[in-house]
Amino acid sequence: MVAVPTPGAAPVEAEGRYFDGVSARPLPVSLRLDDRFRVTGRDLYRDWNPLDLRAADSVPPLMQVGPAHAPERVEFSDAALAAALANRCPDLRRRDEAGSVLRLVLWSMAAGLAILLVALFGVPHLARVLAPLVPEAVEARLGAAVEPQVLRLLGSPPSCTEAAGRAALDRLVRRLVAAGSADGPLAPEPAVDVRRHGMANALALPGSRVILLSGLIDRAKTPDEVAAILAHELGHVSVRDPTRSLIRSSGTSFLLSLVLGDLTGSTIVVAVSEAILSAGYSRDAERAADRYAVALMARAGGTGAALADILERIDADDGKRGDLDLLRTHPFTGERAAATRAQAGGEAPGRQIMPAEDWAALKAICPPPVPKP
């Protein structure tokens, strides 16, 4: 028996994130399902017919839905809303046959190519060759599935959304992205999320996603130090290092999932998430990201040497808070510090990439949690 929308059924509400299908940047939204599916956020309102909704492949409890013939999607992890959608949307899991056949053909070709490349080059070389061939849509889908698992491995730190701090960060990201356009636009536009966590770290994920932990902001002495770390991560994003690293680290698990079209299956998601947190990048990739960051900071009006400043200070810190600090995934050496400062050259002392009021707002983006009564 096919389920049908139930007029007058009790509405179900939840919080989620909206993706416009063009960029990877999420927008926090409120979701409401009654006779319609309503999506409400800042400067955003969508009113979708439940009969038109389709669910993308995802790992429970994460669910992604959107109109059948539009790129827009929302994702959420509310079990009650997922159950209500399954009951009220009869075509939620329907797949277009033509699209299925096309996907089968494409992934069959990818399977043959993957097997050939494994035989000829091995996984490390395969990672370098295959990463640029992964479609952006697939990479974005992988990033959307991996991010919740990465956050769970970090202890599910809350998102920092203090309005003034978020606005200051958005301005900084836009400034860096605009300055980087000389090297070609980042596609999709990066989505930077700040999470309250004592660890000093920043992580680049597939699909142009960057997670910045508040411990790094707390330990930064200037805005250029935070900006330089972000620029370094954007350097990794620009050449798709996160995807290259996960292919190298998860090897056959990733290839098998690529062939089967199950890039969001639980096995690959867990493997990829652990790889992102522990594997790091090669020395050459780190040096290339350093050079990208220094050049980007110069074009954006900041101080590239700030990258060496904050990494050297963390390196000298005897506290060693946690097993996944910045230098665990981004090993820093005196040789890299010297190269970074040499490339930065005679930058004007005291130059800062953002005004003092924006820096103060960014430092306060993660207000202390309200104590429970």
- Summarised one tens digit per residue, pLDDT across range 352-368 is 899 999 999 999 999 87
Instruction: Measure the CA angle with vertex 341, ends 206 and 230; round to 5°.
Output: 25
The answer to whether residue 291 sits within a structural domain is yes
Q: Based on the domain organization, do 79 and 143 belong to the same domain?
A: no
The answer to whether residue 247 sits within a structural domain is yes
For 90-104, what is the mean pLDDT? 63
Q: Based on the domain organization, do 273 and 141 belong to the same domain?
A: yes
Tokens 């690959």 belong to which residue? Answer: 268
Q: Per mean pLDDT, which of 158-172, 177-191, 280-294, 334-348 is the most reliable? A: 158-172
The answer to whether residue 296 sits within a structural domain is yes
Q: Based on the domain organization, do 183 and 267 belong to the same domain?
A: yes
Q: Which of 33, 56, 88 is the last residue of a domain?
A: 88
Q: Based on the domain organization, do 283 and 140 belong to the same domain?
A: yes
- The closest of 68, 37, 31, 66 to 50, measured between CA atoms, is 37
pLDDT at 27 over 50: yes
Q: Which of 32, 56, 88 is the last residue of a domain?
A: 88
Q: Based on the domain organization, do 48 and 145 belong to the same domain?
A: no
pLDDT at position 206: 85
Q: Based on the domain organization, do 141 and 50 belong to the same domain?
A: no
Q: Which of 88, 118, 152 is the last residue of a domain?
A: 88
Q: Please say whether the beta carbons of 268 and 252 come within 8 A.
A: no
- Give the separation between CA 318 and CA 267, rounded to whole angstroms: 37
Q: Based on the domain organization, do 354 and 238 belong to the same domain?
A: yes
pLDDT at 8 over 70: no
CATH number at residue 79: 2.30.29
Among 77-81, 225-229, 274-278, 361-365, the least confident range = 274-278
The answer to whether residue 163 sits within a structural domain is yes
Buried b (16+ CB within 10 A) or exposed e, 151-175: beebeebebbebeebbebbeebbeb
Q: Based on the domain organization, do 166 and 274 belong to the same domain?
A: yes
Q: Based on the domain organization, do 188 and 83 belong to the same domain?
A: no
Buried b (16+ CB within 10 A) or exposed e, 323-336: ebbbbebbebeeeb
Among 42-46, 321-325, 358-362, the least confident range = 321-325
Q: Based on the domain organization, do 71 and 158 belong to the same domain?
A: no
Predicted confidence (pLDDT) per residue in 225-267, tens digit: 999 999 999 999 888 888 777 766 655 555 555 544 545 444 4
The answer to whether residue 2 sits within a structural domain is no
pLDDT-derived band at 2 (thresholds 50, 70, 90) equals very low
pLDDT-derived band at 113 (thresholds 50, 70, 90) equals low
Among 51-60, 260-269, 308-317, the least confident range = 260-269
194: number of CA atoms within 13 Å, CB side? 25
For 185-193, what is the mean pLDDT? 78
pLDDT at 5 over 60: no
The answer to whether residue 151 sits within a structural domain is yes
Rg (CA), the chain: 22
Q: Based on the domain organization, do 334 and 277 belong to the same domain?
A: yes
pLDDT-derived band at 272 (thresholds 50, 70, 90) equals low
The answer to whether residue 228 sits within a structural domain is yes
pLDDT at 130 over 70: no
pLDDT-derived band at 119 (thresholds 50, 70, 90) equals very low
- Domain that includes residue 36, residue range: 12-88
The answer to whether residue 108 sits within a structural domain is no
Q: Domain count of the chain? A: 2
pLDDT at position 271: 55
pLDDT-derived band at 217 (thresholds 50, 70, 90) equals very high
pLDDT at 293 over 70: yes
DSSP string across 138-159: HHHHHHHHHHHHHHHHTT-PPB
Q: Per mean pLDDT, which of 93-102, 106-115, 284-293 is the most reliable? A: 284-293
Instruction: Give the chain's mean pLDDT.
Output: 78
Q: Based on the domain organization, do 296 and 348 belong to the same domain?
A: yes
